[in-house]
Structure formats: structure tokens, C-alpha cells
Structure 1
Amino acid sequence: MTSFHTSFILGFHGCDEDTAVDLLNGKPFRQSSEDFDWLGSGAYFWEGDPGRALEWAIEKQNRGSYKKAAVVGAVIDLGNCLDLTVRENLDLLSDAYRSFETARVKAGLALPVNKDVKGSKEGDKLLRYLDCAVIRHLHENIEDEVRKARDSGTSPLIQPFDTVRGLFVEGENVYPGGGFYQKTHTQIAVRSETRIIGVFRPRNLQSAEEPIGPS
């Protein structure tokens, strides 16, 4: 589904220093499976933005979740990618939403709702319960179709996705009245560990929270 997108990208994973050492020594990336994950289950990376990955890790450090913030870079082959910056994939996601909505109504269940986090900018909806559920539903539908095709000896129309890619507008305006936002970024969720070709320690890494130059 990414016919017109370069297959190899650099992703950056914010984490604790101990985790960074483990990853650099060959340990697999943890697959997040929270109900509010922005792109569904997977190992998460900031595309082409090590500074933003470090900012995120520093936020976790400041909250006491990490002892020492760190970043690991990865060479990722997107493979069969659900690229949600591409129109055809957004149409596929829209179809998945309608299927998901129908299933919830039949079961007498309410739809999940994206929610703001207390203390964050109103409207950023950092807890993506609905988006996560719809993306998971799409993956499940595809996997069901693949199983049915194999059982009937036919070829499935679509293969399971290895990765998911999404662009997110987040944060305050870069300047008053403008259309650019300080935390806008592209995220990658890697569902298949084999798509992570290699890992490395980024050099000269500095976040926007750190001063530039001598004090």
C-alpha cells in the first residue's frame, strides 16, 4: 500500500537508558498494546526526528517513569505499510470505521472516544481510544480474510500490514495565527520486528528542551 513511498526510513525510539543498551545489544523492541495507542499495537518510532524522541523520553524521565532519557535510532523497511498520509489508505480506514461501528451497534456497545489528557493542550486528544480500536479492527478484518483465502486455496486481496505510518498535528502554534504547530510529527508503528533492519545510537543529540551552546 506504499507504492509511491520510499521503503527505508530512519525512526527514533525514545526510551530509558537501560532499555537503549538492551536494544543496541539485540533485544527486540517492545510491542505497545495500550488501548489508546495512536496507530494501534506496535513498536513506536518518531520518523526522522531524534530530537522529538528525546523530548518525549525527557518528559517520561521528569515524571519518574525513566531513570535516564535515551534514544535509539533504527533503519526500518516499511514493507507493506498502512500509510495514513495516503488517500487510498484513509479510504480503507474509513471503511474499517463503518464496519467497526456496525459491529458495536449490533453488540449494544458504545464507540470508544478519543480523549484529552489533563494538563495537555485541549483538542490534541492524546488518548486515541477510537483511532486505536478502528486500526485494530482493520488489522483483524485483513487477518480474517487471509485465513479464509488460505482455507479456500485462493490468494487474499490484501496482505497484513507490517507497519503503520501517521502524521499528527499537535501542540501550540509555532507563532500566533500560523498554521504550524510545535509538536507536529510523523509516527511509525512497527508490527513486524523483522522490518527493523538495524539499530544505532544517534550522535550529537539535543532536544528543544536543552540549551544550545555554552551556558
Structure 2
Amino acid sequence: MYKHYPSLVFGFHACEREVGEALLSGEGGFKASKNDYDWLGNGMYFWENSPHRAEKYGEELKNKRQKLDTPFVVGAVIHLGYCFDLLESHSLQLLKNHYYSLKKTYLKVGLEMPGNNDIGANTDKLLRKLDCAVFEYMHSEMKKNETKPFDSIRAAFWEGKELYPSAGFKEKNHIQICIRNPNCIKGYFRPLAMDTNYPRV
């Protein structure tokens, strides 16, 4: 009963400028990512409270992966609704249970489970085919059993180099939100630069 979030959060989405401007104008709509390697399964992805991280990711998509021509960051006001939060123990156990259920299914038909893999020299396992498969299996089982579907998924990722020797923190640590229900998004906005003539609030 504690999976319904009572407050709003800010999310930031990196995309092509044309797509972002369409979202801001109301001409563009919700578009879920459906790659088989998406960390949290199908949905629209946001960096929680981190426009700077979204901006850096957009630059990476342009320069390293050549997937964006003109990177753009759009902000969103989000109500997480019925949220599957992987910073909470019950959600972690539920995902684990679905992993073993999916594994049993693969073994039964003699197929090899998908894996989470690195990209080149990066060891952060950015290609998350296993995680994606487990999430989508969980959602399909919930639908089959007519269980209330999750509106959103929230998870922390430890990514990048250590901040300093033996640190428990990494340079790209972040919380990511995957929105499955477009009604969670209450509005889009253009992130503003800080006005340094006034105090931070």
C-alpha cells in the first residue's frame, strides 16, 4: 500500500531538438522506448532531478553513438503513481522472483537466457537484455493475472569511475525513471539556467 507516491518529481529527458520542441508545444506525444536492452523495460526514460546528467547523455548520444544530431533536454513534471521502486525491498524481491520464474521457463524450452553485456571497454553493463526481459516478463505475468499494472519504475544505477580511490560513489551515479503510463506526466517544460543575481531557492 506504500507503492503510490504522494508527491511530484522532476524528470529530464534527452532527445532530438525537434522531438523536444514538439513535446513542449503539445504537438508531440508520449513515446515509449522499446529496445530489448533498455534497463527498466519498455517506457519513456527520465533522469530524476538531473538536467545536467540528461545533457551529458545527449552529448554522448551525439558524439560517441551518433544517434542524435541536435541534443536537447526537456523537463517533465511527473507523478510516479503506482511505482515499482528498486530502492525498496519488496520490489527487489518481486523482481528476483520473476527472474527465477523466467529462468525456469527458458530451461523448460531449452533456450539460453539473455545477458547483460558491456559496450567495448565500458564495464557498466549498458546493454541490459536480461534486465529488460525480466521486467517485460513481470509485466506480462501481471497482465495475465489481471494484477494492477505499475505506472512507473524507479531505480538507482552506479555507473562510471570511482569518485576517488575505494569510494562507494561513482561519477555517473543517478536515479532513472521509466514511465509506462503516460498519464503520469503532468506537463513538460524548458529547463531554465540559474539566475546568479539571486539566491538559490
TM-score, scaled to structure 1: 0.85
Residue deviations 1:86-140, cap 9 Å, x none?
00011110111111011111111111110000132x2x10000111100111000
Q: State the distance in 1 between where 2:138 and 2:170 align.
A: 29
Residue type matched to 1:77 in 2? H
Please, which of 85, 88, 92 is the counterpart of residue 86 of structure 1? 88
**Superposition CA RMSD, Å:** 1.5
Structure 2 counterpart SS, 1:95: helix
How far residue 48 of structure 1 moved from its aligned partner, in angstroms, is 0.6
- Alignment-derived partner of residue 182 in structure 1: 171
Which segment drifts farther, 55-64 or 44-53? Answer: 55-64
Contact 1:79–1:163, Cα closer than 8 Å, also in 2: yes
Return the match for 2:192 from 187, 200, 203. Answer: 203
Structure 2 letter corresponding to 1:85 = L
| Residue 144 (structure 2) pairs with residue 144 (structure 1) | yes
Equivalence for 1:45 = 46
Tell me which residue corresponds to 1:171: 160
Match of 2:134 in 1: 134
Q: CA deviation at 1:3?
A: 3.8
Letter in 1 for 2:14: G
1:160-180 residue CA offsets vs partner (Å, 9 max, x unmatched): 011111110000011122111
Q: Distance in 1 between matches of 2:74 and 2:183?
A: 17
User: Which aligned pairs between 1:108-123 and structure 2 lie closer than 5 A?
Assistant: 108-120=110-122, 122=123
Equivalent residue in structure 2 for 1:194, among 180, 183, 187:
183
Q: Distance in 1 between matches of 2:2 and 2:52?
A: 26
Alignment partners' CA distance in 1, 2:98 and 2:71: 37
Does the 8 A contact of 1:2 with 1:82 survive in 2? no
Change (3 A) 1:114 1:172: same
- How many residues align? The count is 192
Is the Cα contact below 8 Å between 2:103 and 2:113 reproduced in 1? yes
The question of whether the paired residues in 2 share the 8 Å contact of 1:2 and 1:83 is answered with no
1:4 shift after superposition: 7.4
- The 3-state SS of whatever aligns with 1:166 is strand
Give the secondary-structure state (helix, strand or coil) at the position aligned to 1:15. strand
| Moved >2 Å (runs of 4+) | 1-7
Q: Percent identity?
A: 42
Separation in 2, partners of 1:203, 1:81: 28
Separation (CA, whole Å) in 2 of partners of 1:178 and 1:5? 31
User: Unpaired runs of 5+ in structure 1?
Assistant: 147-157, 206-215
Summarize the Cα distance change of 1:66–1:3 in structure 2 as closer, same or farther, 3 Å threshold.
closer
Q: Which has the higher strand share?
A: 2
What corresponds to 1:61 in structure 2? Answer: 62
**Aligned equivalents of 1:61, 1:204: Cα separation in 2:** 22
